Amino acid sequence: MLRTPTVSPVECLTQYYRVDRREIAYIKFVIESYDGVGLLSTVEPQSGLIVIRIPPGCEEVIDDIISDLKKTILIEPAAQPS
């Protein structure tokens, strides 16, 4: 059985984005289809605020995914909510 290494949430990089809220499920599907490179959570569904938790060493993969998605979907970096 293949086991995915466990990474503590403290070790993960967190990046916040504002997206078209109608696209949240699609973005989550795309990111999480790359097994183990990121975990997307919705912070504020009404405004489309999401957070992606990225394990060490996966930052470049997530950057590439986000860059590709930006070609067709509104995705903007956002500040962490207070």
SS3 category, 15? strand
Place of tokens 């790359």: 34
Residue 51: inside a domain, yes or no?
yes
Model's pTM, two decimal places?
0.85
Edge-to-edge order in the sheet of strand 39-44: 39-44, 49-54, 13-19, 75-78
CATH code: domain of residue 70: 3.30.70.100
pLDDT band for 28, please (50, 70, 90 cuts). Answer: very high
pLDDT band for 46, please (50, 70, 90 cuts). Answer: very high
Residue 31: inside a domain, yes or no?
yes
| Contacts of 27 by beta carbon, 8 Å cutoff, 6+ apart | 19, 40, 50, 69, 73, 75
Range of the domain at 23: 9-78
Q: Is the pLDDT of residue 2 over 60?
A: no
